[in-house]
Amino acid sequence: MQSPKVALRARKDEATEARLATLTLPETGGWLDGLRADALSRVRAMALPGPRDEYWKWTRPETLISPEVTPAALFHDDEPPMFDEVDRLKIVFTAGKFDAEASDDFALEGLTIERLAEAGATDLHWARDLYGTLETNGQTPVERPLAALNTAFATDGVLIRVTGKVSKPVSLIYRRESEASEAILHHVVKVEQGGEMTLLENGPAAARFNKVLEVEVADEATFHHVRTQARDHERRAVTHIFARLGRESVFKSFTVTMNGVLTRNDCVIELTGDDAVAHVAGAALGDGDFHHDDTVFVTHDAVNCESRQVFKKVLRNGAVGVFQGKILVKEGAQKTDGYQISQSLLLDDDSQFLAKPELEIYADDVACSHGSTSGAIDETALFYLRSRGVPTDQATNLLTLAFLAEALDEIDSEELSGLILARLEGWLERRRG
């Protein structure tokens, strides 16, 4: 008779094979083929996540790994597309395919951009050493099989190499067209020494979206990332960011999520050079059928580095928020300054916040702090505002934005934080009551 553990694994293998049977390795050729085959072996070795996996305790993976995509009704937005006002270089993916017509030319001083789908043919490509490499590193100590699946099957994406200070953001826009669409995209960014860029992302991409972003930030380089996962009610998304930071480099990533039935955002950061700075932050607003999971793993493996994790969630009408965040300080990573805060504002009794903050420290001269709270609107503050004439709804919105402020402060650009604030205000106004 099979032991329960063996039986469990057999079920996972079965689910994995059922999923793999629906996918074909894209023929992007050259060096990519080998990397894809390696990734596929990783998927089989790990098996796709099951509900008994430790890091899937609070987020059910079934709809993310099922052979068939759960259809998601198309959502028609009445707001202008995000970042429309921003001077940027636009790269559009429609239904997971590069949309040349809607995109700008890949011409911007200080960087080169190529499509993943076309890069395989170049033999000595710089991305050879990165594609799937940071993802592979990020598989220990916690397995992330959906990222390996992405590396194997990504149909497209961008490869961005930054050699200078780039004057305007590169903006990735994901559009979707059908109710049962699926998109698997994989981007690689390499910011060379002293380089600097901002990457923007927005749009729903597909009914089910699997996206990986691998970022190498070299010594003294800077990478800013701002993305919105907004207002597409029924879509599902699993995304991974894998970042490796060199000496005196800066990595800052901010995500705002409004609606979406299921979102799992993993962020895996490794600080490998001294004096590096990594900030990862998120604001999630959910109403009703909304499940949002931020899973973050920051590894300090160098001296005098700083990391911040700031995650805020506003939940109502039965929305669920999950935070799993870890700071790992390796031996010798002295003078580490690690900070982690995860908070939820529960606007009713039906909503739920589940948090697992973790610290693991093997150096003796570090300052690490973490906190996690879950609370309702402060009644005293609410009364104070009302006593000055501010109606309850408006006062609640004001206090909600105040709750989100610490996360929003993580966006360096005032222009971008202003745009996001306006969207948050809009969401609060619309979804009232």
User: Which of the stretches 124-132, 145-153, 363-371, 396-404 binds other proteins when contact is defined by CB under 8 A?
Assistant: 396-404
Q: Please answer whether residues 34 and 121 qualify as being in contact, where contact means their C-beta atoms are separated by less than 8 angstroms.
A: no
Q: Does residue 374 belong to the site contacting other proteins (CB under 8 A)?
A: no
Q: Please answer whether residues 294 and 263 qualify as being in contact, where contact means their C-beta atoms are separated by less than 8 angstroms.
A: no
Question: In the set 33, 219, 337, 406, which binds other proteins (CB under 8 A)?
Answer: 406
Question: In the set 383, 415, 418, 429, which binds other proteins (CB under 8 A)?
Answer: 383
Q: Which is nearer to other proteins, 142 or 390 (CB)?
A: 390
Q: Does residue 425 belong to the site contacting other proteins (CB under 8 A)?
A: no
Contact map string, positions 313 to 352, toward other proteins, x by CB under 8 A: ----------------------------------------
Question: In the set 189, 258, 284, 385, which binds other proteins (CB under 8 A)?
Answer: 385
Q: How far is the CB of 348 from other proteins (least distance, A)?
A: 17
What distance lies between CA 410 and its chain's CA centroid? 15
Question: In the set 21, 76, 123, 389, which binds other proteins (CB under 8 A)?
Answer: 389
Q: How far is the CB of 429 from other proteins (least distance, A)?
A: 14
Distance from C-alpha of 276 to C-alpha of 103, rounded to nearest angstrom: 34
Exposure string over 369-406, b if 16+ CB within 10 A, otherwise e: ebebebeebeeeebeebeeeebeeeebbbbbbbebbee
Q: Which is nearer to other proteins, 376 or 381 (CB)?
A: 381
Residue at token pair 């903050």: 357
Q: Does residue 387 belong to the site contacting other proteins (CB under 8 A)?
A: yes
Q: Does residue 140 belong to the site contacting other proteins (CB under 8 A)?
A: no
Taking CB atoms within 8 Å and a gap of at least 24, the contacts of 49-53 are: 49/143, 49/145, 49/146, 50/8, 50/11, 50/12, 50/15, 52/8, 53/143
Q: Which residues pair with 241 in a beta bridge?
A: 213, 267
Sign of CA dihedral 285, 209, 267, 251: negative
Q: How far is the CB of 406 from other proteins (least distance, A)?
A: 7
Question: How many chain residues are in contact with other proteins, going by CB under 8 A?
Answer: 24
Q: Please answer whether residues 425 and 402 qualify as being in contact, where contact means their C-beta atoms are separated by less than 8 angstroms.
A: no
Sign of CA dihedral 52, 53, 56, 57: positive
Q: How far is the CB of 410 from other proteins (least distance, A)?
A: 14
User: Which of the stretches 120-128, 188-196, 276-284, 377-385 binds other proteins when contact is defined by CB under 8 A?
Assistant: 377-385
Q: How far is the CB of 163 from other proteins (least distance, A)?
A: 40
Q: Does residue 380 belong to the site contacting other proteins (CB under 8 A)?
A: yes
Taking CB atoms within 8 Å and a gap of at least 24, the contacts of 384-389 are: none
Interacting residues with other proteins (CB under 8 A) = 378-381, 383-392, 394-395, 398-399, 401-406
